[in-house]
Structure 1
């Protein structure tokens, strides 16, 4: 047998990052930037109001008090008339989206809305709360210093600035600034397209009622969903009969548009292992026994002119999902331009114990018991944090046990040299769907 690390290393040394593509900014979520994004326009693109209120000239409100002192009676040494309300005629409204290039005359005001452009000659926005709200004439009771409540053109981003660097993962915030600075398309490493094939004469499509000796295919549905949860484009390719001809035809069809292929079943030592039979004469796929539980029978290689990676996984559902978490997802992250490890795995104390097979790394379905924490908005600064999470087994650990898999929310990693896990032991774990394993 080979170790988990050895099989994983062979996979990661084989897969290659996909070639960059130009995609619309609306379709780039989750992708990794292949090229810096340069601002085509400044942000903001023009001087605009940060408040609903009135735009006036600074000279017209020079005698008004600041808002925090508008109600103060102290100012005995102020000039006569200082601090008295100012009444100005209102020349109209400037709503957001107004494209007129207006000019404010001295001694006049415009009513202005948040985001609306500042007219030439306007120096100060007076929030509506500091006025009587008039539409023909407005009475102003207080005023801030010139420039207050005005967002200046380019104060956030200048035209020509690099707003996003190559290698950035494009989430909601990154897509927002890319669109705002004028990027219609982005150069990205695309998300790999994956086809998941389930092999076995006993399999029926989801929605079927199985008879004696028959099983509903849960692998294709499960693995495609797990890969989509991790941010990749995946689909179930359907059930493939246990014949070399059927497997070969299914692989040929998948190669038409897939960047990676995942098969389940047909890779053990039985007489009907059609996947192994079909792939033994195709591409570079090699089959190994990996020192892990579950998931010992594994295969990996490439097919076709594009050297499409093919992962052949065991047919038992738990083995298939564990193999996907440990081997497939790190490879897809590499192909997508992402780091193999999204983050260092956390560690937690075990609440119960269980045996572990000697000489084999064990991936145990566990439930993470979170400590009760204060809501983040109400947490007091400087207070001690809550105790860390704990792990407990989700139940039966057989490779066919779907209930424990459904109940689990993480996999705990037990090294190959450990034969028993005791309560209180510290184990690394990964939330299911948060791929990447640093196996020894």
Structure 2
């Protein structure tokens, strides 16, 4: 049997990634909803449809600064013109109207417009009863007691009627939508001060290993700089979580178990990195896979995934807080976050879909892939002129970390793919990062 055949045979004993993710995600539920004020709700996922309790605008109002008038009084103004806002009126002479008052956005007393008169109005001011047009200031001589109007706008121009933009009872945003700044403005304008949302998951990140040292120094023999806890905390924030970096925990069984159980009081999800293997120093796996009553347990699974084949999932502590265990190699840890931890965060937050957006793209370079494993390789995706996408593979394998630093997507190669030829169509997950 060849080395390739041996590798594929070994990969066949691993759990397919799709099967593993399904088994994990089916065990989770979105966090219970909370009623939050609008500012706090920004960035969260709506738990219910949001309906407009009132119309917007709430009353007829001027859309521009100008003069509120009756359209019938302007029928002799201006001439036939090509401007799209000009009315088609004959005569070519200005119309003179008496200005009987000024209305600002703070005006509240109802007033009525009589024939041959107008009101000077500011944008947002309530319209006088009987008016159906607002003439822009620059189409007039800007008179104060009386005004000459050179051009007649179309009937209804410069006017916003009550409910024009949002009708009472209209769905402003559906359940599952992220609350954006524009949504916050729409909710507030429609009379909504609070909305029911799924809270952002509180995520605690812990790196484990006696060999780890904090950032600010290079690695030396017997020491490895903890890049993972910093990177995974940033990744959790990018995924919409409230993330807290605990830092480094030594391979002390009781200390490790105690630290994780302490964090269950502040966490909706715990992410660990390191110690998922079966080597002599992989204490985390031995501690968390032990089934102690009332303390939870984690199952470690060899998954058909490249890079980073071993992932852990289970619960910790009496509160049974979910825990995701990722490999210690930085590139593998970040890929593990993308395929497992990020979907878990999205599900807890009530977001749909839980996976990143994917596109089909034309491969620019022939690449090989390990048989029997679903490979996620850093890539740069570009839109083609005329439509579609191209994808340039970046460094993978042992160089995945440096490849991810340049990537704006992940090229996905299935378990049966050993070679992907240039020009072939492949799947790519898109990062939602600004480039």
TM-score (norm 1): 0.86
Structure 1 counterpart of 2:366 = 353
Structure 2 counterpart of 1:377 = none
3-state DSSP class of the match of 2:358?
coil
Structure 1 counterpart of 2:5 = none
3-state DSSP class of the match of 1:252?
helix
Distance 1:267 1:395, change over 3 A: same
Provide the C-alpha distance between the structure 1 equivalents of 2:224 and 2:18, rounded to a whole number of angstroms.
33
Instruction: Point out the more displaced range, 201-210 or 306-315.
Output: 201-210
Structure 2 counterpart of 1:390 = 390
| Preserved CA contact (<8 Å) 1:57 1:122 | yes
Say yes or no: does 1:16 pair with 2:15: no
3-state DSSP class of the match of 1:346?
strand
Structure 1 counterpart of 2:409 = 410
Instruction: Point out the more displaced range, 320-329 or 359-368.
Output: 359-368
Structure 1 counterpart of 2:167 = 158
| Preserved CA contact (<8 Å) 1:367 1:407 | yes
Distance 1:430 1:63, change over 3 A: same
Provide the C-alpha distance between the structure 1 equivalents of 2:403 and 2:250, rounded to a whole number of angstroms.
28
Structure 2 counterpart of 1:86 = 95
CA positional deviation for 1:199: 0.8
Say yes or no: does 1:364 pair with 2:377: yes
CA positional deviation for 1:83: 4.9
Q: 5 Å matches for 1:33-44?
A: 33-44=46-57
Say yes or no: does 1:178 pair with 2:177: no
Say yes or no: does 1:300 pair with 2:305: no
Provide the C-alpha distance between the structure 1 equivalents of 2:395 and 2:152, rounded to a whole number of angstroms.
68
Provide the C-alpha distance between the structure 2 equivalents of 1:343 and 1:291, rounded to a whole number of angstroms.
20
Listed one character per residue, the Cα deviations across residues 358-387 of structure 1 (whole Å, up to 9, x for unaligned) are 22221112222443x4xxxxxxxxxxx14x
| Preserved CA contact (<8 Å) 1:90 1:111 | yes
Structure 2 residue corresponding to 1:221, chosen from 199, 220, 230 = 230
| Preserved CA contact (<8 Å) 2:357 2:429 | no
| Preserved CA contact (<8 Å) 2:358 2:430 | no
| Preserved CA contact (<8 Å) 1:67 1:130 | no
Provide the C-alpha distance between the structure 2 equivalents of 1:271 and 1:53, rounded to a whole number of angstroms.
80
Provide the C-alpha distance between the structure 2 equivalents of 1:208 and 1:343, rounded to a whole number of angstroms.
34
CA positional deviation for 1:283: 1.1
Say yes or no: does 1:239 pair with 2:248: yes
Provide the C-alpha distance between the structure 2 equivalents of 1:353 and 1:145, rounded to a whole number of angstroms.
62
Distance 1:36 1:352, change over 3 A: closer
Distance 1:366 1:155, change over 3 A: closer
CA positional deviation for 1:228: 1.6
3-state DSSP class of the match of 2:35?
strand
Q: 5 Å matches for 1:42-191?
A: 42-65=55-78, 68=81, 83-144=92-153, 146-191=155-200
| Preserved CA contact (<8 Å) 2:377 2:396 | no
Provide the C-alpha distance between the structure 2 equivalents of 1:146 and 1:346, rounded to a whole number of angstroms.
47
Structure 1 residue corresponding to 2:334, chosen from 321, 324, 327 = 321
Provide the C-alpha distance between the structure 2 equivalents of 1:104 and 1:432, rounded to a whole number of angstroms.
57
Stretches of structure 1 that go unaligned for 5 or more consecutive residues are: 374-384, 435-440
3-state DSSP class of the match of 1:333?
helix
Instruction: Point out the more displaced range, 147-156 or 40-49.
Output: 147-156
| Preserved CA contact (<8 Å) 2:347 2:354 | no
Distance 1:16 1:209, change over 3 A: same
Provide the C-alpha distance between the structure 1 equivalents of 2:205 and 2:241, rounded to a whole number of angstroms.
12
Provide the C-alpha distance between the structure 1 equivalents of 2:144 and 2:80, rounded to a whole number of angstroms.
21
**Number of matched residues?**
413
Instruction: Point out the more displaced range, 334-343 or 184-193.
Output: 334-343
Distance 1:197 1:139, change over 3 A: same
Structure 2 residue corresponding to 1:250, chosen from 252, 255, 259 = 259
Stretches of structure 2 that go unaligned for 5 or more consecutive residues are: 1-13
